[in-house]
A and B are shown apart, each in its own frame.
Chain A
Amino acid sequence: MAKREYSFYPGCSSQKKASAYNQWVSTVSICKELDIQLNEISDWNCCSASIGYAGGGELPRLVLSARNLALSEKEHPGQDLVATCAACWLATREANERLNHDAEMKTDANEALKEAGLEFKGEKKVRHLVEVLIEDVGYEEIKQHVKKPLADIKIAGYVGCQTNRPFGIAGESFENPVYLDKLVEVLGGTPVENYDKKVSCCGGALMFSEPEKSQALVKDILEAAYDGGADMIVTPCPVCQMNTEVYQEHINKKYGTKFNIPSVYYSTLMSVAFGQSAKEAALDGQIISAKKLEAIASK
């Protein structure tokens, strides 16, 4: 039996060959190393992220997350629900807290869920995988698994928005959360000090509908990473990762910049430092290759 077990909500972007499939692959790898068992909620649905509001009203959106929670309660009693995607985590935790806080809303949600033969009880804790790593595993234990320290790599810890606000990781501040920097240090790398775009917005889903306005935001995030001497950016969020990586060429064309900086998940960093293969770390999922990590992985 695994040392730690959780009910797991992967979310749409983590599915096979979806945009954050590399996050899923590297997450599976580090969990194996840390003896964490993630039990996938069997028939989970989309949480509607933070952009479903045009079509979905308040209650339907809460019911989406309540269904996932109800399934988790049924299938994995006693296990915390854990998500890796910022939006999945936020939506699920919010629904959990709001329904538990508002008896009338909970009754309404359950009346709707009855149509699917389910009931939301509200007896779970909803957590981000980062919380599991920091609180349950701990930096000390993570350090013990480091076989190939990320020596001489300078990394800008880009926390972004939804992993940080409105809930954030327990014990961290909204304006300057330091868990990614601490993690980088534990893995043997050097965090960029005073990375001033650490909690700035990348445009989120509006990258799709308002690309130019969002790319202007990403330009500043990348520029600040370069200013701090970063070799790469690390982030916990699928949207942050994609927005900071895949549009660099568009930004270069528009602004005459020469950005070409890898943006990786913390799980990829950890996997490489744990001595796992490039494939396990999902380095083949980088559109902008993380050459320094590839070199360590092939050592």
Chain B
Amino acid sequence: MSQAVEKYRNTFLREVEANVEEGQWVKMCMQCGVCSGSCPLGPHWEHPPQEIFMMIRANKREEVLTSSSMWFCTSCYNCIARCPRELPITHIMHGLAHYAQRQGLAPKELPTAKFAKRFWDNLLKKGRVNELQLGLQLYFMNGLAEGIKTSLKMQKVGLGMLKTKRMDPMEALGGHGCKDIKGLKAALNKAKQIEETKAAKALERLQSKS
């Protein structure tokens, strides 16, 4: 490992500040734990939010980015509403999850990580979410055998949705979408490019400082 990378790793807080959505707020956490106590899936977090904040400040890069924790965020925004320091905790958790994924460090077999990635890919295809294709993909994301099991378990729900006209089998063949999907994709590619260029520059600045 090059010296530059080594040095860089000693500054995980700064890395988070430069690369993670709303990361500049991490240093403001006062460790009161209201976020963790307010989280609907709190008991399932490997490290609750305030612990994640402290781990970032303690340089635990690997432990934070490989953690399953942030992937249990249901986006209920309880933590944001209740945080006495008004940290945008939900955004930071989404940001950390995204950054971990981008760095290839997110846990590979975590259902929510898989689902979230498929959701994005699904909406990118036509500009609108195809619920049927997304649902089917989701059932089969852990292989054929489990997919069949899940499909059978969900059969009644599916029939109910079909009967009440809340699901359209024709969506499997294509379905709803944006007319200007080309423009939408070009705009999103550009946005990605801008974001990545900025992140690279921030990284450079970080390395030259340390």
User: Which of B9-17, B46-54, B57-65, B75-83 lies on the face that meets chain A?
Assistant: B75-83
B residues in contact with A48, CB < 8 Å: 119-120, 123
Q: How far is the CB of A117 from chain B (nearest CB, A)?
A: 6
Residues in B lying within 8 Å of A, measured CB to CB: 21, 40-41, 44, 72, 74-78, 80-82, 90, 94-95, 97-98, 101-102, 106, 111-117, 119-121, 123-124, 127-129, 131, 135, 138, 153, 156-157, 160-161, 163-168, 171, 176, 178-180, 183-184, 186-192, 194-195
Interface residues on A, range: 35 or more
Q: How far is the CB of B15 from chain A (nearest CB, A)?
A: 15
Contact of B184 among A17, A45, A109, A247 (CB under 8 A): A45
A residues in contact with B117, CB < 8 Å: 54-55
A residues in contact with B168, CB < 8 Å: 16-18
Contact of A209 among B115, B176, B190 (CB under 8 A): B115
Complex-state Cα separation, A116 to B161, whole angstroms: 36
Complex-state Cα separation, A205 to B72, whole angstroms: 11
A53 contacts B188, C-beta separation under 8 Å: no
What residue in chain A is nearest B119 (Cβ atoms)? Answer: A51
29 pairs of residues in contact across A and B, judged by CB atoms under 8 Å: A12-B123, A17-B171, A18-B166, A19-B131, A19-B167, A22-B164, A46-B127, A51-B115, A52-B116, A54-B101, A55-B101, A57-B102, A58-B95, A59-B195, A60-B188, A60-B191, A64-B188, A108-B194, A109-B191, A116-B183, A116-B187, A161-B77, A162-B75, A166-B77, A166-B80, A205-B75, A206-B74, A250-B157, A285-B166
Q: How far is the CB of B201 from chain A (nearest CB, A)?
A: 13
Contact of B138 among A16, A63, A109, A209 (CB under 8 A): A209
Contact of B120 among A17, A55, A116 (CB under 8 A): A55
A residues in contact with B111, CB < 8 Å: 209-210
Residues in A lying within 8 Å of B, measured CB to CB: 12-13, 15-22, 42-46, 48-60, 62-64, 67, 108-109, 111-118, 161-162, 165-166, 174, 200-201, 203-206, 208-210, 213-214, 217, 246-247, 249-250, 284-287
